[in-house]
Amino acid sequence: MKLALFLCLILSSFEYTLQCGCGALYTQQIVCNSDIVMKARIKDQDENVGEFTISIEKIYKGDDVLDSLSDNQTLLTPMESSMCGPITLDTGKTYIMTANSYDGAPMNINFCDFVAEENEISLTLLRGLSGGYFSNCDCKIPYMWDDDSRRGRLRCGRAPRGCSTNAICSKNTRGRCKWQSCR
């Protein structure tokens, strides 16, 4: 995520107005690039400063990062649209989402993160979160700005029609990366 956000800021700085642009097209990319993937309930929020108070219910990735935080209940979103915020989350609802944290600073979330309400999640997403995404982070998936979307042993290329953005790009028995769960 750090790299993706960095690239997105670099790219957007070439434009006349600084805009938010997210390079990752697929959930697997976002999840693989994020420090934290969790299920959390929004307990409270202060919209004026972009601060949520959350209660983490399940951790899919980032136990170590969360352990290193002095505050695991604060989630920040940038107020500037150029910084890809602020993201809208409803108090009382539970979401599956990605977040990042730099050097023990509070967790942050923006439009480039993955967010899904708990009751909107698909079977494919669940399969990904229960291991499909994480064990295939070495499968390369093209970013929005990649001209080169060739396929290859460890490359999936763009997903075929009928694949959701939650589809899993995973290694088959011969160790080749292929899009799965597409119909």
Ligand X SMILES: *[C@@H]1O[C@H](CO)[C@@H](O)[C@H](O)[C@H]1NC(C)=O
Residue 144 in contact with ligand X, rule: CB under 6 A: no
Residue 72 in contact with ligand X, rule: CB under 6 A: yes
In the complex with ligand X, which residue's Cβ is closer, 9 or 66? 66
In the complex with ligand X, which residue's Cβ is closer, 62 or 157? 62
CB of 38 to ligand X, least distance (A): 8
Residue 66 in contact with ligand X, rule: CB under 6 A: yes
Q: Which helix (H) or strand (E) holds 12?
A: helix 2-12
Residue 154 in contact with ligand X, rule: CB under 6 A: no
Residue 56 in contact with ligand X, rule: CB under 6 A: yes
On the 0-12 / 13-18 / 19+ scale of CB atoms within 10 A, 92 is exposed
CB of 51 to ligand X, least distance (A): 17
For residue 163, say whether it is annotated as part of any ligand binding site: no
Positive or negative, the Cα torsion across 168, 150, 171, 144? negative
Cα–Cα dist 166/114, whole Å: 10
Residue 106 in contact with ligand X, rule: CB under 6 A: no
CB of 53 to ligand X, least distance (A): 12
Where helices occur in 23-179 by DSSP H, the ranges are 27-33, 63-67, 123-127
CB of 14 to ligand X, least distance (A): 39
Nearby residues of 19 by Cβ (< 8 Å), 6 or more positions away? 12, 81, 82
Cα–Cα dist 14/116, whole Å: 31
Q: Known binding site for Zn(2+): residues? A: 20
Q: Known binding site: residues? A: 20
| Residues near ligand X (CB under 6 A) | 56, 66, 72
